[in-house]
Amino acid sequence: MKKAVLTNLAPKPAGPYSQAIVANGFVFVAGQIPNDPATGKIESDDLAAQTERTLENVKAILEAAGSSLDKLVKVNVYLTDIRDFKAMNEVYARYIKGDAPPVRTTIEMGACRDARKIEIDCVALA
Amino acid sequence: MKRALNPPNAPKPIGPYSSVVVANGFIFVAGQGPVDLATGNLIESDSIEDQTRATLTHVRTLLEATGSSLEQVVQVRVFLKEIDDFGGMNAVYKEFFNHPAPPVRTTIEAPNLYGKRMKIEIECVAAV
């Protein structure tokens, strides 16, 4: 059985997909972007600010699903410029703490349709 | 426990990986592309709609080979050679995922897919 999650504290899906799906004890979160859910827009070109906004969106969705950042098991980070790795990492470390942080893969992606520099998808325990 | 499948009515893996692995209540589907089963090469069409349709047809075949279906998919990743194909991909994607509680999705541009004319690759996870 699976259940879809929708919160207005994170951006609306940009296509026929759910923000999160809970299934078999896990929460799958759709690729999140640095859009402010209040305005629907990307409010900053700064990578640190974009990382913060993106992780806030992830956090909101996980909490709407009854999970949390502490329960993350796997994270994929996509950057438009891999040289932003360090700046992303610094913000990431403020959000992802504890003795058993989730596994992570960070790769550079190609162009985006907007000013986003980062996108993050993840899987957490429900 | 895990179980791997390489059904004959879907593209053969082109390396040391399985097309599908079933484990602990989940079905993991390897990255699929718009392969023509008759030739084993990419389909002739360069249209993103045709390539998306061919790719999702293989995804569906693989899921059904395990006894699952598109409706049980929980997570999808779409890799586009050109992000400008987002609209064309989305239009065809909707034909396949038109049920309530559609899977989560991440779409990113991957400028160099394996196969020069390949415009799309899709991987997914389904719940058994």
Range of the domain at B110: 2-127
Instruction: For each of the domains in chain A, give its residue range(s) and CATH number, in order of start.
Output: 2-125 (3.30.1330.40)
A17 touches chain B (CB under 8 A): yes
Instruction: Specify the pairing of strand A118-125 against strand A20-23.
Output: unpaired
Interface pTM, i.e. ipTM:
0.92
Counts for chain B of helices (H) and strands (E), in that order: 2, 6
**Which of A30, A110, A123 has the CB atom closest to B111's CB atom?**
A110
User: Tens digits of per-residue pLDDT, B25-81?
Assistant: 999 999 999 999 999 999 999 999 999 999 999 999 999 999 999 999 999 999 999
**Which of B83, B90, B100 has the CB atom closest to A15's CB atom?**
B90
pTM of the predicted structure, to 2 decimals: 0.95
CA distance B20 to A81: 32
Q: Are A32 and A56 in contact (CB under 8 A)?
A: no
Domain CATH number, residue B117:
3.30.1330.40
- pLDDT at position A94: 97
For chain B, what is the mean pLDDT? 96
**Which of A19, A31, A111 has the CB atom closest to B109's CB atom?**
A111
Chosen for mutation from A12, A28, A67, A82 (greatest number of chain B CBs closer than 10 Å) is A28
Q: Given an 8 Å threshold on Cβ–Cβ distance, is A4 in contact with B74?
A: no
